[in-house]
Amino acid sequence: MRRALFGCAGAVVLLLALPSAGLPQVWNSPGLSPAEFKSMPPGGPALRHDMSGTWDAGAAGIGGAAQEAEREAARAPFTPLGEEMMRRNKPGNGPRAARVSEINDPLSTLGDPTGFPRLVLYELRPLQIVQTPNQVLMLYMFEKRWRVIWTDGRALPTNPDPRWYGYSVGRWEDDSTLVVETIGTDDRTWLDNSGDPHSGSLRVVERYHRINQNTLELTVTIDDPQVYTKPWTARNRLPMKLMPPDTDLMEMIPSASEAQLYSRDIASQTKGQQP
């Protein structure tokens, strides 16, 4: 009897210590529902130098049709080279949206990697942030892809070989703000779903500011003097909300074979339509 009582007390202590303990385990979460996102309380104050957890920016993170106007308003004017590069891109969304049969988006038609910074400007689905003593790891639901952000004080490489996801270093600007700089990206990728291009000279600054326990704000600045006449803010304090610690995310992988299936059964049949 005494042992049983101790057992019960132990279970209660455990339940109090772990907010998610005792709840049914959930698999394949697609992200927070609109209601969950909106009603998320701020929680306590932000923890020092800690952004660990799974974060979701909701529909604003996805960057689809609803964000087209905002994206277009934020973008700096193209340079002449930028104009030329932009005209070659036939995107599915945005002011220059092409018909399905004409889209040449390397992500959706070829199965190329999304690349960086597109991964944070479009289809920013939930991501898990893991911190080690010398790295911040970003594990993205979209593509089931990851990025390594070095926080060991190293400098960015000089004249790096291009990589789909570039080279990133981060530093804590204050207790709750991590600033990440990235260079060395691959100019085959687009910046976003509107087909905005970038060159290999692109430099991206991400600013992650944890304003309280449950909210992380993301600001992204694009600086590519070859393509844009001035730096511009592609994400302006985008709020991301903290998901429960037992969240298991769905896979969302844009595979090449599925893209081919879509092209064969849908895209190819929409050719020759009247405008």
Partner 1 sequence: MRNTLVAVGMASMLLVAASSPTAAHHGAATFETGKQITLKGKVTEWIWANPHCFLKFDAMDDTGTVRNWVAETQNPVSMTARGWSRSAFKVGDEVTVTVEPAKNGAPVARILNIVLPSGQTLIAVGPGPGAATP
Examine residue 35 and tell whether it contacts partner 1 (CB under 8 A): yes
We find the least distance from the C-beta atom of residue 184 to partner 1, in angstroms, to be: 27
User: How does DSSP classify residue 5?
Assistant: H
**Applying CB under 8 A, which of residues 99, 163, 188, 203 lies at the interface with partner 1?**
99
Examine residue 103 and tell whether it contacts partner 1 (CB under 8 A): yes
Examine residue 43 and tell whether it contacts partner 1 (CB under 8 A): no
Of 5-13, 17-25, 92-100, 163-171, which segment contacts partner 1 by CB under 8 A?
92-100
**Are 94 and 72 in contact, with CB atoms under 8 Å apart?**
yes
User: Residue 200 is encoded by which pair of tokens?
Assistant: 């290999």
**Applying CB under 8 A, which of residues 23, 38, 43, 245 lies at the interface with partner 1?**
38
* Backbone torsion region of residue 184, taken as left when φ is above 0, otherwise alpha when ψ lies between -120 and 50, otherwise beta: left
Of 8-16, 86-94, 113-121, 147-155, which segment contacts partner 1 by CB under 8 A?
86-94
Exposure string for 181-216, b = 16+ CB within 10 A, e = fewer: bbbbbbbebbbbbbbbbbbeebbbbbbbbbeebbbb
First to last CA, the chain: 79
Residue for token digits 């204050």? 174
Examine residue 108 and tell whether it contacts partner 1 (CB under 8 A): yes
Q: How far apart, in whole angstroms, are the C-alpha atoms of residue 25 and residue 253?
A: 23
Examine residue 269 and tell whether it contacts partner 1 (CB under 8 A): yes
Which residues, 6+ apart, have CB-to-CB distance to 3 below 8 Å? none
**Applying CB under 8 A, which of residues 87, 154, 171, 271 lies at the interface with partner 1?**
271
Nearer to partner 1, 35 or 155 (CB): 35
We find the least distance from the C-beta atom of residue 224 to partner 1, in angstroms, to be: 24
**Which residues sit at the interface with partner 1, rule CB under 8 A?**
28, 30-38, 56-62, 64-66, 68, 92-94, 97-101, 103, 105, 107-108, 123, 125, 141, 193, 239, 241, 250, 252-255, 258-259, 261-262, 265-266, 269-275
